[in-house]
């Protein structure tokens, strides 16, 4: 047990090994259940799910799109720190990378189950359809996951015990010096795959609810997905940092770091809300009517009423943007955290609308309104991905220096111990 504790960063306090194991137990159980569900889908096929030829995108794609947007904090924080030199973000960059690794690897796992036939997974890379946005997504996500794993290496090798090995220490040092190259590549890849994910829906001419006009080959959703991911990445970082602070009872980042992230998120969220509003107005007044549909028709099908549009743009877009842009409000955790959470919910809602509502709505005269509820195998696989994320983050938080300011901030929350009075001055 003492050996295990020797891996923990000097000067930070972590719970005892038994307590840590107790925390891990339910997540490991959930991961095993998820693995069983995924195994069923891979062995028996997609008949284990409630998807069909018409409802080909379900819970998994919704989850993939959401966690990839939330994981955008990794590329965007890296871009701000290493390219634009926002030095304050050093305090959260490691957390952003861990979140990125968790989100992207989790999304890849879910995609693998969704696509099925893992033995033929390499076909995507060997015989790519270069005209497909999905191909761009596959290549970019795979490449970016590789970049993230390389970016994760210095965090791992900086572990107190591992860096005692000279080869690890030296490699970590040299890799860290080149990290700005990887940050640049990550930004390039993220920029394109976030856009391509949005583009996937925007080019669906047969689905007027999702179809959008745009610039050259890129529909407006291409740009909206990029802006929304960049806007919500810092918000998700705020939310996760606060969540870890709450669970562990420690302060992990200074207020100025939260403030900077909130400001960045607020500015980008405002740009997104503006762009989304303009896009929606063009779609309502021009795009949709030109395809033979009045936009109001889409919202006749309950539960997808106009409330969903209001919730997406105003409640989870404009409201958090205003809070995050107001210095007095974002300085208070009581406002900041709900605003960050609302922004994250807004992006999740957007991805839900793009995936689920698009497929549910009838487009041809003989179509009917479809409903879809994920099967327990689909839900189990999703929960497995969630458990995997919690486990990776928990291990990373325990053994690696995820928040470099943690030790410095300890003084502000730690009650003083009673010590014997035999010390002189010290």
Q: How far is the CB of 247 from other proteins (least distance, A)?
A: 21
Q: How far is the CB of 76 from other proteins (least distance, A)?
A: 18
- Give 124 or 379: the residue with its C-beta nearer to other proteins: 124
Q: How far is the CB of 139 from other proteins (least distance, A)?
A: 5
Q: What residues are paired with 219 via a beta bridge?
A: 214
- Give 39 or 404: the residue with its C-beta nearer to other proteins: 404
Q: How far is the CB of 178 from other proteins (least distance, A)?
A: 5
- Give 312 or 406: the residue with its C-beta nearer to other proteins: 406
Q: How far is the CB of 95 from other proteins (least distance, A)?
A: 17
What is d(CA 37, CA 59) in angstroms, rounded to the nearest whole number?
14
Q: How far is the CB of 177 from other proteins (least distance, A)?
A: 8
Q: What residues are paired with 218 via a beta bridge?
A: 215
What is d(CA 208, CA 103) in angstroms, rounded to the nearest whole number?
30
Cβ distance 283 to 289 under 8 Å? Answer: no
Count the neighbouring beta carbons within 10 Å of the beta carbon of residue 81: 21
Residue (of 309, 222, 225, 235) closest to 266 by Cα position: 235
Largest CA distance in the chain: 89
Residue ranges that bind other proteins, judged by CB under 8 A: 6, 10-11, 13, 125-128, 130-131, 135-136, 139, 143, 146-147, 150, 163, 166-167, 169-175, 177-178, 181-182, 185, 188-189, 404, 407-408, 410-411, 414-420, 422-426
Count the neighbouring beta carbons within 10 Å of the beta carbon of residue 418: 6
- Give 194 or 354: the residue with its C-beta nearer to other proteins: 194
Token pair in block for residue 269:
């969220």
What is d(CA 136, CA 125) in angstroms, rounded to the nearest whole number?
10
What is d(CA 198, CA 203) in angstroms, rounded to the nearest whole number?
9
Residue (of 151, 64, 154, 136) closest to 103 by Cα position: 64
- Give 19 or 414: the residue with its C-beta nearer to other proteins: 414
- Give 11 or 289: the residue with its C-beta nearer to other proteins: 11
């Amino acid at each position: 047990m003492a050996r295990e504790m020797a891996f923990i960063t000097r000067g930070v306090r972590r719970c005892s090994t038994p307590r840590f194991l107790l925390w891990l137990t339910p997540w490991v159980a959930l991961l095993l259940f998820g693995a069983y569900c995924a195994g069923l889908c891979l062995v028996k096929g997609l008949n284990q799910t409630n998807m069909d030829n018409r409802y080909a995108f379900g819970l998994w794609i919704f989850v993939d799109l959401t966690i990839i947007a939330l994981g955008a904090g990794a590329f965007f924080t890296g871009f701000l720190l290493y390219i634009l030199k926002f030095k304050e973000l050093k305090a959260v960059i490691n957390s952003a990378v861990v979140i990125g690794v968790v989100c992207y690897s989790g999304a890849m796992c879910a995609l693998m189950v969704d696509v099925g036939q893992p033995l033929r997974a390499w076909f995507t890379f060997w015989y790519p359809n270069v005209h497909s946005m999905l191909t761009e997504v596959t290549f970019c996500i795979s490449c970016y996951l590789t970049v993230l794993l390389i970016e994760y290496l210095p965090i791992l090798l900086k572990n107190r015990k591992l860096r005692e090995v000279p080869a690890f220490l030296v490699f970590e040092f040299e890799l860290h010096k080149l990290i700005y190259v990887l940050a640049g590549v990550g930004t390039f890849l993220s920029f394109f795959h976030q856009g391509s994910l949005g583009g996937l829906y925007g080019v669906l001419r047969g689905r007027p609810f999702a179809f959008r006009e745009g610039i050259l080959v890129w529909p407006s959703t291409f740009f909206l997905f990029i802006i929304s991911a960049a806007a919500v990445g810092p918000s998700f970082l705020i939310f996760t940092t606060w969540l870890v602070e709450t669970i562990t009872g420690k302060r992990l980042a200074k207020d100025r770091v939260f403030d900077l992230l909130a400001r960045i998120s607020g500015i980008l969220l405002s740009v997104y809300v503006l762009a989304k509003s303009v896009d929606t107005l063009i779609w309502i007044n021009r795009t949709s009517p030109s395809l033979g549909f009045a936009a109001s028709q889409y919202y006749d099908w309950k539960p997808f009423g106009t409330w969903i549009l209001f919730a997406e743009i105003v409640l989870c877009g404009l409201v958090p943007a205003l809070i995050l842009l107001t210095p007095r409000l974002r300085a208070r955790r009581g406002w900041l955290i709900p605003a960050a959470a609302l922004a994250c919910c807004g992006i999740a809602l957007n991805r839900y609308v793009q995936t689920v509502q698009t497929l549910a709505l009838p487009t041809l005269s003989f179509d009917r309104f479809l409903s879809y509820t994920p099967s327990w195998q689909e839900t189990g696989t999703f929960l497995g991905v969630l458990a995997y994320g919690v486990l990776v983050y928990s291990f990373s938080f325990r053994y690696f220096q995820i928040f470099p300011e943690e030790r410095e901030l300890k003084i502000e929350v730690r009650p003083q111990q009673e010590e014997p009075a035999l010390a002189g001055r010290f």
